[in-house]
Amino acid sequence: MKKYDVAAYIWPAYTGDEPRTRMFWQEGYGEWESVKSAKKFFDEHTWPRKPLWGYVNEADKYVMEMQIEAAAEHGVNVFIYDWYWFDNRPFLEQCLNDGYLKARNNDKVKFYLMWANHTATTLWCKNLPDKNIPIWDGAVDRKTFEHIVHRTIEKYFSHPSYYKIDGKPVYMLFDTENLVRGLGGVKETLDALQYFREETVKAGFPGLELHLTIRSPKYRAKMLDEKTSILDFINMANFDGVTHYNFFDYAPMNRTYLELLEDVKQEWKCVEETVKAPFYPHVSLGWDNTVRYVVPRKKWICYENTPQNVQKGFELAKDYVDSHPQMKAPLIVVNSWNEWTEGSYLQPDDLNGYGYLEAVKKVFIDGDKE
């Protein structure tokens, strides 16, 4: 049977080992604090929920050994670690460095990085009503960019479990606007990305597989300068792949999961027609970030995202890969392994059990269809 690379994003905030998170979660075990205090806001709301594995520290190697086994058994064979650089240093690296990388079985599930270069705000502060107050700027200048490039190549690319396509390490960028703003413009950013490619080759790799998360067509039409839209920049930069982070970025919420899938089909078609880079299909498991708020936010929710319905999303992604044999890798991106506070996670809970993981297994290992 054909092998698929099912890559799940990891939000590395389920630990108290990063001192700077205490401004958001004072009790010392990361964003589990928000999960534990979640409330039911309306009749059809499916919170509160509890993790079947407990409120574990994902910066613990033994915890990650257990999670790696569970992921591999169910067909998740790649983790995409959200990676941050705030206030001139890395942020939330502990889950990767002390958890996954120290796990004795990390050869069973590969990993790569997505630089989440957005600006950090008070979104993570549950008890603050204003979620848009900036804390750390995600944009960096050229000097810092070069430092990040060398640190990434030396610290991560050479690891035997780093995910590669045709021998090229995969690296994903998140926020196009912040990238261009920090580096000083479109031309300067294109030059910086070329520098990253060249330095990766100098380090002994055949090249860099540079990917980007993209958002809605409306967002892609935004102008970076007088002449260049975000879509123009994406095509000028010759990215090796594009994908999405979650359905919320382009599909209106307050609808059912199966209704959202109709928007997903249209978005994938639009990307194929307008973006030069190869597209790797992405599947979200839902959306509900009311956990981060103290007042109801009903309009932001995806409904009926049962494992049975989400399985249809996995089938859609599998069919896309199967119908595009020219793809360099059979890569499918999933949101996510553990985005509990956005209501989109594969990890088992007391609502759906192992249902989402079983859905992955049915589609990508067993070959079943609903």
Average pLDDT over residues 290-305: 85
Beta bridge partners of 8: 79, 334
Count Cβ atoms below 10 Å from residue 172 Cβ, excluding itself.
25
* Rounded Cα gap, residues 252 and 244, in angstroms: 15
Structural domains in the chain plus CATH codes = 5-366 (3.20.20.80)
**pLDDT band per the 50, 70, 90 thresholds, residue 148:** very high
- Pairing assessment for the beta strands 110-115 and 78-86 based on DSSP bridges: parallel
Q: Does the pLDDT at position 302 exceed 80?
A: yes
Q: Which amino acid is at 157?
A: F
- Both tokens of 132, joined, read 């848009």
Q: Does the pLDDT at position 297 exceed 80?
A: no
Backbone angles phi, psi at 165, to 5 degrees: -120, 120
**pLDDT band per the 50, 70, 90 thresholds, residue 299:** confident
Average pLDDT over residues 285-307: 89
The set of residues, in sequence order, having a beta carbon less than 8 Å from that of 281 and lying 6+ positions away, is 243, 268, 316, 317, 320, 321, 332, 333
Percent of the chain with pLDDT strictly greater than 70: 98
Q: E strands along the chain, which residues?
A: 5-10, 78-86, 89-91, 110-115, 120-121, 134-136, 164-165, 168-173, 209-213, 241-243, 255-256, 282-284, 302-303, 331-335
Digit-coded pLDDT (tens) for 234-267: 999 999 999 999 999 999 999 999 999 999 999 9
Please check whether residue 171 is in contact with residue 152, taking contact to mean a CB–CB distance below 8 angstroms: yes
Residue with tokens 């939000």: 11
Nearest to 71 by CA among 339, 283, 337: 337
Task: Burial-class residue 14 by CB neighbours within 10 Å (0-12, 13-18, 19+).
Answer: buried
Q: Does the pLDDT at position 328 exceed 90?
A: yes
**pLDDT given at position 336:** 98
**pLDDT given at position 97:** 98
Count Cβ atoms below 10 Å from residue 301 Cβ, excluding itself.
22
* Rounded Cα gap, residues 144 and 90, in angstroms: 11
Average pLDDT over residues 346-354: 98
**pLDDT band per the 50, 70, 90 thresholds, residue 294:** confident
Please check whether residue 189 is in contact with residue 183, taking contact to mean a CB–CB distance below 8 angstroms: yes
Which range is least confidently modeled, 82-96, 175-189, 295-309, 317-331? 295-309
Average pLDDT over residues 1-21: 94
**pLDDT band per the 50, 70, 90 thresholds, residue 370:** low
Helices 142-152 and 176-183 pack at an angle, to 10 degrees, of 120
- Mean pLDDT, the chain, rounded, equals 96
Digit-coded pLDDT (tens) for 167-186: 999 999 999 999 999 999 99
The set of residues, in sequence order, having a beta carbon less than 8 Å from that of 33 and lying 6+ positions away, is 25, 26, 27, 126
**pLDDT given at position 368:** 66
Please check whether residue 251 is in contact with residue 262, taking contact to mean a CB–CB distance below 8 angstroms: no
**pLDDT given at position 298:** 66
Task: Burial-class residue 44 by CB neighbours within 10 Å (0-12, 13-18, 19+).
Answer: exposed
**pLDDT given at position 337:** 98
Please provide the size of the chain in residues.
Answer: 370
Cα–Cα distances (Å) from 366 to 76, 125, 320, in that order, read 13, 41, 18
Enumerate the H helices of 244-327 as residue ranges.
257-274, 307-322
**pLDDT band per the 50, 70, 90 thresholds, residue 280:** very high
The set of residues, in sequence order, having a beta carbon less than 8 Å from that of 156 and lying 6+ positions away, is 113, 162, 169
Q: Does the pLDDT at position 121 exceed 90?
A: yes
